[in-house]
Amino acid sequence: MVEQTQPLLLRHLPRTFEATITLDGSKSISNRALIILALCDANAGDYLSHLSTSNDTTTLLRLLETRHQTNTFDAGDAGTVFRFMAAYLATQQGTQILTGSKRMLERPIGPLVTALRTLGADIQYLGQEGYPPLQIGTPAGLGAQQHQLRINAGVSSQFLSALLMIGPYLPNGLELIPEGNVVSRPYLDMTMNLMRTFGAICEWHDDRIVVAPGTYTPRPFRVEADWSAASYWYSFVALSDGATLRLNGLDQVSVQGDAVLSEMMTAFGVTSVFDQDGVAIRKNGTSRQMFEWDFIECPDIAQTLAVTCAARGMQGLFTGLETLSIKETDRIAAIKQELQKIESNFVKLPPRFNKKNPEKLYYMVDGQAIIPAHQPPSFATYGDHRMAMAFAPLALLGDIIIESPGVVAKSYPGFWDDVRAVLKVEEF
């Protein structure tokens, strides 16, 4: 296993390869399923299989397994865990403390807390207003007086998902009215799909989501493989000279928004052939001159596509990046900074370039990535797992260094082991 603090030198990797990988379970699906089973007081181990082995999921599993023995919960740097636990703890008896890492204390939680307070939750800020840590007290009739919520949908879909999942346990259910531009809509659909899988009744009705009062019913459930993790392997294939890679566990018809990856990667000459076990991806076509995509429904793969565009020397036009600045790091600033090291640019376009959709912000990737032979570029990861994995495929172009490579444990602990196996490298 790669150490967190030791920089990783990836020597110029082979540009032709053929291999098979069985991907880990989806972190997003795993975390939702864990909260749902906790709400009906079921033991996750009795019902869930192929759970994600990511730090985020193991953190959530640990917190839920000890929920009856402690009143202090540390979510670390896991934003999903913190948000989901905030809503979950608001339904529980007793006074609880919910905290996290230094970076977590800088990430806004205000809209979710305000919504929970509107429902009747007893939540106090223990530090700066609008930010963790939180003290969450015993609810006094949570949802009894108020069950309709209006919430800004433009900050994080995880706020809405956290609220939706507790909806069946409110005496009058929940009527959630997202206001503004709904970011990452597929994640809301994922949440609702899982809620229905475990017996909840929830539907979109015009501009709102209505959740009926009730309970969840435990049942055996297998977590599908992670499409976000697949994005790095699609990038490896896109930068290859004719690779073939089989990714087991992926579903073509998926509740994950990142499954759109198979479509977007056709722009880079990568084809996808699905069967009952997964997908075979191949580099057997030519790239287009320009790539354009709205990432509003799949922001987690924006970094991967930005690096892939730079590596191919393809101009990329990106929009829908509104949530990237409040992730594990400011991902927009991080992409810009690191791509500059290889003579590629990531810039926000001025309004005059956006006449068709003036309400949207557009970013452009421009310039052919150059990996100097005499001095491997060293890419900072900013404590962000996706920065490390998005930049790794550049090693097909030349020697590179990934700083703090152990950050991949947050979502894909076995990533570097898989890179070694696929590229047939004994050691880095």
User: Known catalytic residue: 300?
Assistant: yes
Tokens of 145: 């007086």
The angle that helices 27-39 and 79-89 make with each other, rounded to 10 degrees, is: 10
**Most distant pair of Cα atoms in the chain: their distance:** 68
Residue 95 φ/ψ region, left for φ over 0, alpha for ψ in the -120 to 50 degree band, beta for the rest: beta
CB-based contact 250:407 (threshold 8 Å): no
- How many helices (H) and strands (E) are present in the chain, helices listed first? 12, 21
Alpha helices in 243-316 (DSSP H): 261-264, 302-312
The residue among 329, 305, 330 whose CA lies nearest residue 319 is 305
Alpha helices in 45-170 (DSSP H): 55-65, 79-89, 110-119, 157-166
Q: Which of 226, 300, 384, 399 is catalytic?
A: 300
Contact 194, 36 (CB under 8 A): yes
**70 Cβ contact partners less than 8 Å away, ≥ 6 residues apart:** none
Using alpha carbons, select from 28, 99, 49, 44 the residue that is nearest to residue 70: 99
CA-CA distance, 116 to 120, in Å (whole number)?
7
Active-site annotation, residues: 300
